[in-house]
Chains A and B, each alone.
Chain A
Amino acid sequence: MRIVVDNKKCTGCRICEQTCSAFHNRAVNIYRSRIRVTSSETLPNAAETCKHCRIPKCYEACKVDAMAIDEDKIVTVLEDKCVQCYMCVDACPFDMMFIDAVTEYPIKCDLCGGDPRCVKQCPEGALSLK
Chain B
Amino acid sequence: MKSYTGKKLIVDLTTKESKVEEISQDILKKYLGGRGLGAKLFFDAQPPNTQPFSPENHVVIASGPITGSLVPGGSKFVLITKSPVNEGFLESYSSGNIAYSLKGAGYDALVIKGKCDRPSYLKIDNQKVEIIEDESLWGTDTFEAERKLREKLSDLFSAMVIGPAGENQVLMAGLNSDFYRQAARGGGGTIFGSKNLKAVVVKGTQHDITCSDVEKVFTLQRQHREKMANNPIGKTRRKYGSPYTLSMTNAIGMLPTKNFTTGHYENAEELFGHLGVDRIKVKDKSCIGCIEACSKVTKVTEGPHKGLVFEGPEYETLALFGSNLLIEDIGAIVKANEMCDRLGLDTISTAVTIGFAMECYEKGLIDQEDTGGLEIKFGDIEVTHKLIEMIAKKEGFGALLSMGSKRAAQKIGKGSEKFAMQVKGLEIPAYEPRASFGGALAYAVSPRGACHRRCWPVSNEVIAGTPYNPEGKAKLVKKVWDETSIYHTLLFCDFQIKHAKLSLQDLCDYYEALVGVNITAEDLLEVADRQETLIRYFNCQEGLSKKDDTLPDRCFNEKIPSGPSKGISIGKDIFNDMLEEYYELRGWNNEGIPTEETLKRLEVF
Contact = CB atoms under 8 A, between A and B. Distances in A.
A44 B222 contact: no
Interface in A1-34: 11-15, 18-19, 21-23, 25-32
Given A13-B287, A22-B70, A121 B222 contact: yes
B100 interface: yes
A55 interface: no
A28 B208 contact: yes
Contacts of A25: 208
Interface residues of B, number: 39
B218 A12 contact: no
A93 interface: no
B289 A18 contact: yes
A43 B295 CA distance: 11
Counting contact residues on chain A (CB < 8 A from B), the size range is 20 to 34
A28 B293 contact: no
Contacts of B156: 31
Contacts of B289: 13-15, 18
B70 A120 contact: no
A124 interface: yes
Contacts of B218: 19, 22, 117, 120-121
B309 A42 contact: yes
Contact of A23 (B205, B214, B309): B214
B208 A44 contact: no
Contacts of A102: 205-206, 208
B211 A42 contact: no
Interface string B213-228: 0100110011001000
Contacts of B284: 11
A41 B222 contact: no
B540 interface: no
Contacts of A29: 104, 205, 207-209
A32 B70 CA distance: 14
Contacts of A12: 285-286
Nearest to A31: B205
B415 to A, nearest CB: 44
A15 B291 contact: yes
A70 to B, nearest CB: 24
Contacts of B310: 42
Given A13-B290, A102-B206, A43 B297 contact: yes
Contacts of A13: 286-291, 293
Nearest to A15: B289
A21 B217 CA distance: 14
Interface string A40-82: 0111100000000000000000000000000000000000000
A43 B211 contact: no
B205 A44 contact: no
A102 B105 CA distance: 12
B293 A26 contact: no
A43 B68 CA distance: 22
Contacts of B211: 22, 26-28
A129 interface: no
A43 B282 contact: yes
Contact of A42 (B207, B217, B311): B311
Contact of B285 (A11, A18, A32): A11
A19 B221 CA distance: 11
Interface in A93-117: 101-102, 117
A27 B2 CA distance: 10
A73 B167 CA distance: 56
Interface in B3-26: none
Interface in B281-311: 282-291, 293, 297, 309-311
Interface string B309-322: 11100000000000
B210 interface: yes
B286 A42 contact: no
Contacts of B378: none
B575 interface: no
A12 B291 CA distance: 10
Given A15-B291, A29-B104, A44 B286 contact: yes
A127 to B, nearest CB: 14
28 contacts: A11-B283, A11-B284, A11-B285, A11-B286, A11-B293, A14-B286, A14-B288, A15-B72, A15-B290, A15-B291, A18-B68, A22-B211, A22-B218, A26-B214, A28-B68, A28-B208, A28-B209, A29-B104, A30-B288, A39-B178, A41-B179, A42-B180, A42-B309, A43-B285, A44-B286, A117-B218, A120-B222, A123-B293
Given A11-B284, A22-B217, A117-B218, 17 more contacts: A13-B289, A15-B289, A21-B208, A25-B208, A27-B211, A28-B68, A28-B209, A30-B100, A39-B178, A42-B180, A42-B297, A43-B283, A44-B286, A101-B206, A102-B205, A102-B208, A123-B293
What are the 5 A-B residue pairs with the smallest beta carbon separation, nearest first?
A13-B286, A27-B208, A123-B291, A11-B293, A101-B205
